[in-house]
Structure 1
Amino acid sequence: MSPAHFEDHSADISPRLVDPNGSEDEQQLEAALRPKKLADFPGQERVRDQLGLVLEAARRRGAPPDHVLLSGPPGLGKTTLAMIVASELEAPIRITSGPAIQHAGDLAAILSSLTEGEVLFLDEIHRMARPAEEMLYLAMEDFRVDVIVGKGPGATAIPLELPPFTVVGATTRAGLLPAPLRDRFGFTGHLDYYKASDLAAILARNADLLGVPATREGIEEIAGRSRGTPRIANRLLRRVRDYAQVHGRQVVDLGSARAALDLFDVDASGLDRLDRAVLEALCRRFGGGPVGLSTLAVAVGEEPDTVETVAEPYLVREGYMIRTPRGRAAAPLAWSHLGLTPPESSLGGALFDPAEGGDGRFTG
């Protein structure tokens, strides 16, 4: 690691350290830490190898590659991969998002200004307005758009030819993409959560870039509590660095990592205050469930969307919560995590027989 050097990032403390959606300041800092080449991109070996093949073949043909769709939960590197595509092709990149394109004219203005070989990155592409989607179909397939001039019976469609370009779309909700749009992407890659060893490699590299001395044990402790998400891992690293600096340790070691993460309510399993509040409500107030999402959200003092999109995906994936047609229920792992014994009548207990072995994760 390089010599100790600490920057002041106290302003980027997030209310939820394990929220994969970062603030604008955090996103700018993460941009500085992003790898620039595919070979430097850690983890996601399958997607990385497949994408590398697509890009190398395009370089040898001297033509833009097929359009690329990247899907997966937030914070896993979709934006980073889009920028790597442009870097590998030595092409400029135009960045926009689905919510920013609410009219076909918005998309037409962007498309008409693209240069040959340019990469157009559309984040959250599933949130694009339907008229713009229909224009994008033609642009991706035939590299042209029809500009409508006039209104009513006298309206005329003027075809506008576009130079060849590559669309890189990113989405956290691939199921919301209409089939005609999804089918126009020549390559689709799904990013999954990272292994702790991959997160440790990312953290070691970023600690060096930030000038933060760190031990292997400290890095591994942070990686193990990062929910398989690089964005969360980077945020926790900065908080542990702050703790080490304030307490005069000047190094991210195991003691600093544990003390800092305990201070910020991130437990050994990566669960934060909201996650534990959801489990507490399920087990203590509702006997393990099932309970409706709205009722559960009221019990923890959050909006239903927050519980559903922030806490629930990780709790379900790790086997703490079960989604049923009648609502959410606590799995046996939730009861054990809280140090409680599930009642025999609980739904989670009925779905899992401890005598059969396993770790209590629901796979039915």
Structure 2
Amino acid sequence: MEGPLTAATSEPDERVLEAALRPKNLHDFVGQHRVREQLSLVLEASKIRERTADHVLLSGPPGLGKTTLAMIIAAEMNAPLRISSGPAIQHAGDLAAILSSLSEGEVLFLDEIHRMSRPAEEMLYMAMEDFRVDIVVGKGAGATAIPLELPPFTLVGATTRAGLLPGPLRDRFGFTGHLEFYSVEELELVLRRSAMLMDLRINSAGFTEIASRSRGTPRIANRLLRRVRDWSLVHNVEQIDARLASAALDMYEVDSRGLDRLDRQVLQALCTKFGGGPVGLSTLAIAVGEETETVETVAEPYLVREGLLGRTPRGRIALPEAWSHLGLDMPRNAPGSAPTTNPSIAGQERLELEE
């Protein structure tokens, strides 16, 4: 795809563009082939039976398309969509107010459903199974439960931590799908569709360059694509190739493996200040000037997945890939280096890395 970039004045409103980047049906949804096929079967069977679709639970890391799939489910069932989140439902009354206002066949999407309060969860059990809730009026011995019938609806729950969902709630979902990280090839398809909607001209090598730095996540891929678009417009670039895409992303401190400033700071501190570790999480967070939770939830998952950082009972360690990526020589006695000649010590180190 070669050709000049369009002028900035021809670009649609950013909010309209954001909405346009989301696929509107399962056919346009890229990746997640197994989940997509299974979900398509569930929805098609529901339409044939002329019944509301079974409740759906979608799990997986952020940015992989859980919200988009919820919107697609509503569109495929030709039903309205109601969106809320677990943190917003802290009392059973909050949930009762939402459920009582649903129309027949409506799709209720609850993001981060594992963060709902326990009383709300217990009310949701009955609503999902029997389409009924009990509204408690009064307090103490004089309290009365008034049953409230609900119209049939479809609940779509999304969670990044499926293990925190209680068993009774998880078992009430008719379909459970787990979303996996995307391959570079799949992300290229996502980027091609987004670039077409943005009316950008990028060649295949440019798409590959952006996709390879996107951490296997479509949300990040689209964000990086917008930054490349901005860089190209400001520099009056006529076509975007791998070299220009690389220059743009380097300016935004996203390197060839998708590591950002915080990721590199964590690895740099671990290797240069602590000799590769092991070092405690709180100490490492102080060294990079970030909160402990930020390092643990934002930086660590990707570094561990990429084989750059290891978590052991004694603390965090830098693995050989980290030293190589930073261009540093790995000390022979550094954690994660070649096995020591003492079999018992080597076995203990392997055990700690596995843990």
Whether 1:60 and 2:48 are equivalent positions in the alignment is yes
**Alpha-carbon spacing, 1:223–1:62, altered in 2? closer, same or farther (3 Å):** same
**Alpha-carbon spacing, 1:56–1:278, altered in 2? closer, same or farther (3 Å):** same
Letter in 2 for 1:233: A
Q: After TM superposition, give the deviation of residue 200 of structure 1 in Å.
A: 0.5
Paired with 1:43 and 1:351, the residues of 2 have a C-alpha distance of 39
**Alpha-carbon spacing, 1:39–1:340, altered in 2? closer, same or farther (3 Å):** same
- Decide which moves more: 84-93 or 341-350: 341-350
Question: Could you tell me which residue of structure 2 aligns to residue 189 of structure 1?
Answer: 177
Larger Rg: 2
Paired with 2:267 and 2:106, the residues of 1 have a C-alpha distance of 47
Letter in 2 for 1:256: L
Describe the superposition over 1:184-207 as per-residue Cα deviations: whole angstroms up to 9, x where unpaired: 111111111100011001101101
Describe the superposition over 1:327-360 as per-residue Cα deviations: whole angstroms up to 9, x where unpaired: 211111111111222223222115699xxxxxxx
**Alpha-carbon spacing, 1:197–1:60, altered in 2? closer, same or farther (3 Å):** same
Letter in 1 for 2:204: R
Question: Could you tell me which residue of structure 2 aligns to residue 20 of structure 1?
Answer: none
TM-score (norm 1): 0.89
Contact 2:60 2:178 in 1 (8 A): yes
Question: Could you tell me which residue of structure 2 aligns to residue 69 of structure 1?
Answer: 57
Question: Could you tell me which residue of structure 2 aligns to residue 269 of structure 1?
Answer: 257
Whether 1:132 and 2:133 are equivalent positions in the alignment is no
Question: Could you tell me which residue of structure 2 aligns to residue 200 of structure 1?
Answer: 188
Describe the superposition over 1:36-56 as per-residue Cα deviations: whole angstroms up to 9, x where unpaired: 110110011111111111111
Q: After TM superposition, give the deviation of residue 150 of structure 1 in Å.
A: 1.0
Contact 1:219 1:252 in 2 (8 A): no
Contact 1:332 1:352 in 2 (8 A): no
Whether 1:91 and 2:79 are equivalent positions in the alignment is yes
One of 337, 340, 345 as aligned partner of 1:349: 337
Question: Could you tell me which residue of structure 2 aligns to residue 19 of structure 1?
Answer: none
One of 295, 312, 318 as aligned partner of 1:324: 312
Paired with 1:28 and 1:333, the residues of 2 have a C-alpha distance of 41
Q: How many correspondences in the alignment?
A: 342
Letter in 1 for 2:153: F
Whether 1:115 and 2:103 are equivalent positions in the alignment is yes
Paired with 1:351 and 1:128, the residues of 2 have a C-alpha distance of 46
Q: After TM superposition, give the deviation of residue 291 of structure 1 in Å.
A: 1.0
Question: Could you tell me which residue of structure 1 aligns to residue 231 of structure 2?
Answer: 243
Letter in 2 for 1:5: T
Give unmatched runs, 5+ long, in structure 2: 342-352
Question: Could you tell me which residue of structure 1 aligns to residue 347 of structure 2?
Answer: none
Where in structure 2 are the equivalents of 1:97-108 lying within 5 Å?
97-108=85-96
Question: Could you tell me which residue of structure 1 aligns to residue 346 of structure 2?
Answer: none
Question: Could you tell me which residue of structure 1 aligns to residue 33 of structure 2?
Answer: 45
Paired with 2:14 and 2:293, the residues of 1 have a C-alpha distance of 23
Paired with 2:28 and 2:213, the residues of 1 have a C-alpha distance of 23
Give unmatched runs, 5+ long, in structure 1: 11-24, 354-361
SS of equivalent residue, structure 2 residue 317: strand
TM-score (norm 2): 0.92
Q: After TM superposition, give the deviation of residue 292 of structure 1 in Å.
A: 1.0
SS of equivalent residue, structure 1 residue 337: helix
Paired with 2:335 and 2:129, the residues of 1 have a C-alpha distance of 50
Whether 1:5 and 2:6 are equivalent positions in the alignment is yes
Contact 1:6 1:211 in 2 (8 A): no
Contact 2:8 2:233 in 1 (8 A): no
Whether 1:311 and 2:295 are equivalent positions in the alignment is no
Q: Percent identity?
A: 70
Letter in 1 for 2:46: A
SS of equivalent residue, structure 2 residue 337: helix
Letter in 2 for 1:83: M
Paired with 2:340 and 2:77, the residues of 1 have a C-alpha distance of 51
Describe the superposition over 1:236-275 as per-residue Cα deviations: whole angstroms up to 9, x where unpaired: 1111111111111133222220110111111111111111
Q: After TM superposition, give the deviation of residue 30 of structure 1 in Å.
A: 3.1
Paired with 1:247 and 1:123, the residues of 2 have a C-alpha distance of 39
Paired with 1:350 and 1:175, the residues of 2 have a C-alpha distance of 35
**Alpha-carbon spacing, 1:77–1:28, altered in 2? closer, same or farther (3 Å):** farther
Paired with 2:340 and 2:245, the residues of 1 have a C-alpha distance of 34
SS of equivalent residue, structure 1 residue 226: coil
Letter in 2 for 1:197: E
Paired with 2:340 and 2:86, the residues of 1 have a C-alpha distance of 42
Paired with 2:81 and 2:105, the residues of 1 have a C-alpha distance of 9
Cα RMSD for the two superposed structures: 2.2
Letter in 2 for 1:301: G
Paired with 1:306 and 1:215, the residues of 2 have a C-alpha distance of 36
Q: After TM superposition, give the deviation of residue 324 of structure 1 in Å.
A: 1.1
